[in-house]
Structure 1
Amino acid sequence: MAEDVGRTGDRVRSGAGIEWVGVAADRYRERLAEHGQRVASARDEVLGTATALEHLADELEARQAAIKRAMQFVEDRIDDARRTVNRLGDVAEDVLTGAEKAARDAARGVLGTVAGGLPAPGAPDWSALADRIGWR
């Protein structure tokens, strides 16, 4: 689009260099020059908008990648927690070591954190959930 606008500006500027003669020639040249400036300004705006959109797209891709990593982290911690609870959940309290009790309690904490359900895939809430579980 900026190229199209630039070409329009070129055509306008090429008309500004023509030797116009007549009563309205000076006013026409002035208006042609003003129009050329507006076209150049519009081209610059389009280029600025394109740059901003590219930056936004990069930011969105980075955010989606972070959410994907958070989703994977949470899903891995849930799987780990389920395995731990399944392995240690029914073992008598007095048989477990302190480390096993801590692991079981941590696993139950993870499962309790997600008991209300998981966010929709790709939702920003995955990052907050990952933080609550201990991602960062």
Structure 2
Amino acid sequence: MVFRYLMDTTFPDLRSYGGADAFLRACKPRTVLDLFTSKWTGLVMGALLDGPRRFNELRRMLDGLTQKMLAQTLRGLERDGVVTRTVYPTIPPRVEYELTDLGRSAIGVLQAIGEWAGEHADDVIAARQAYDERAEQPLKPLRPV
């Protein structure tokens, strides 16, 4: 488990000093985990798995992703060193995005999450439906009135 790893590789006794702990805001591994909490990060990285792609290719592949959100996601991934952006000197300029070695090193983790999602999608959907049905029921008093 990711959080177990983070806790085991940090020093809980340093909390009182503001030191390393996965549950502290400033913990380095936690700041990197933020990279993968974006709704679109895994899908964009997956779309780049087979090689470089142009912006509009990515946009067509990723149904529901707006141009603005794709631009923000790619910019963030580039900033984090996970994606490179290459501009070719053509008219009009051609821009391609590609995973870096660092980005490719995270693909196994993203594939594992994708496999888990595929295996448990029906369970999650059923749980959501059951929750929504319970939420629609009127509240019952704890004691008879």
Q: Please give the TM-score of this superposition, normalised by the length of structure 1.
A: 0.29
Higher relative contact order (CA 8 A, sep 6+): 1
Q: Please give the TM-score of this superposition, normalised by the length of structure 2.
A: 0.27
Higher helix share: 1
